[in-house]
Amino acid sequence: MENVNEDLFLPENIQTEIEKKVKELKDSDPKLKRVFPIFVVGDEDEGEKPYYIGYFKQPPFPTFSKYLSLSQKDQAGAMRELAKDCFVDGDKELIKDDSLFIYGLMPHLAQIIELRKGKLVNLSKAGK
């Protein structure tokens, strides 16, 4: 899934709040290598908050395996389970509310399972 709204401007106070929270979470749990804050704009005309922030961890092997298994049948359901299992802190409405989840959080969840950069090294030489 493609990341949307990458050019979304965050006010400095919100950016600072997010950075502070990420540091707090990492300091409180040394096992947390990476924390992914996901910011979603709310719809105030529909009674929502101005914005929602969820903090997610990179999934450990059992969680990732569960996600892969569930994604065979139901991609959206698998993404919701991944979100539940990787949620560390923040606004749970991002997972519970269908609209916030499908149209706000889900397009960005792929970031927490994004592959690291790497390359297969070919050891066979041509002509051998």
Which tens digits make up the pLDDT trace of 6-17?
557 888 999 999
Is residue 77 in some structural domain? no
Is residue 7 in some structural domain? no
Is residue 95 in some structural domain? yes
| pTM of the predicted structure, to 2 decimals | 0.83
- Of 24, 18, 58, 16, nearest to 38 (Cα)? 18
The residue segments making up the domain with residue 31 are: 12-58+87-114
Q: How many domains does the chain have?
A: 1
Is residue 24 in some structural domain? yes
Using one digit for the tens of pLDDT, what is the confidence trace for 3-42? 444 557 888 999 999 999 999 999 999 889 899 999 999 9
Is residue 127 in some structural domain? no
Long-range contacts of 95-99 (CB under 8 A, 24+ apart): 95/54
